[in-house]
Structure 1
Amino acid sequence: MEFETAEIDVDQGSDSHIRLSAVPFLFNPGERSLYIGADGSGGAVKHAGWLGLKTEPFNGWYSAHIISVTGNKGTDCVFEVKRNFNTPIQEGEWLWFPAMPQRVETYRG
């Protein structure tokens, strides 16, 4: 299976930033579940998915907060690493981050 490759920017907070080049990546979106509140109102909850980067562990990989992906096939996404229920893990050649895609909008002042 051939994966899209990307330029990866990792923000670790505290002015710490890592850039990786030509990294294969994969994103599996999180599940959605319905809930009904005590007052009878309801809604949907979207859970974090998993962002996989096929790369060696880099300094501070476990501390990633924001990961930007600019793919060679047009993918342009920003992910927030979520640690509510899961933490980043290493599995073989892959680093997996519990992540949620963020929408980036132009500032209108």
Structure 2
Amino acid sequence: MVRAQGEVKIYVMGQEDFVLDDVLFHFNEGERAVYTGLNYTFELFHKPGWLGLQLPALANWSGAYMIELSFPNGSESHHVFTVEKNTSFPSEEDGWFWYPVNPIRVSLLPRTEP
């Protein structure tokens, strides 16, 4: 679990991306689970994790398909997530927007300012 503050870029289909500074976030990585296939083979996969963002009201926030997160955390300061959607999520509760996410990239080098 990571709880910190950083820059968030939210990609939404058909409109300009949202870029917000100093956003409080909360991230829980998804669990690993064993999936039994139709032919009784077993696969290990990651269930989606949860990314909560404390944001002001945003139009079409639930249309997000990808989220970038940058925060001061040494060697792992830049993350990119895809948003997994279903009929119940993403959701909003008490000023927090909750997205089920799968990480697709983590940078291993600290971000440098120009």
Same fold (TM over 0.5): yes
One-letter code aligned to 1:37: G
Residue 98 of structure 1: CA displacement? 0.9
| Alpha-carbon distance between aligned partners in 2 of 1:24 and 1:18, rounded to the nearest angstrom | 15
One-letter code aligned to 1:101: P
| Alpha-carbon distance between aligned partners in 2 of 1:44 and 1:21, rounded to the nearest angstrom | 36
Aligned counterparts, 1:55-94, within 5 A: 55-74=55-74, 75-84=77-86, 86-94=88-96
User: Percent of aligned positions with the same letter in both sequences?
Assistant: 31
| Alpha-carbon distance between aligned partners in 1 of 2:86 and 2:32, rounded to the nearest angstrom | 16
SS at match of 2:43: strand
| Alpha-carbon distance between aligned partners in 2 of 1:10 and 1:89, rounded to the nearest angstrom | 15
One-letter code aligned to 1:21: D
Residue 86 of structure 1: CA displacement? 4.3
SS at match of 1:62: helix
Gaps of 5+ in 2: 108-114
TM-score normalised according to structure 2 size:
0.78
Residue-by-residue CA offset, 1:62-83 (whole Å, 9 max, x unaligned): 1111100011334210011101
Q: Which residue of 1 aligns with 2:27?
A: 27
TM-score normalised according to structure 1 size:
0.81
Residue 35 of structure 1: CA displacement? 2.3
Q: Which residue of 1 aligns with 2:101?
A: 99
C-alpha change, 1:37 and 1:51, in structure 2 (3 Å) is: same
Aligned counterparts, 1:36-51, within 5 A: 36-51=36-51
| Alpha-carbon distance between aligned partners in 2 of 1:18 and 1:76, rounded to the nearest angstrom | 17
8 A Cα contact 2:78 2:106, kept in partner: no
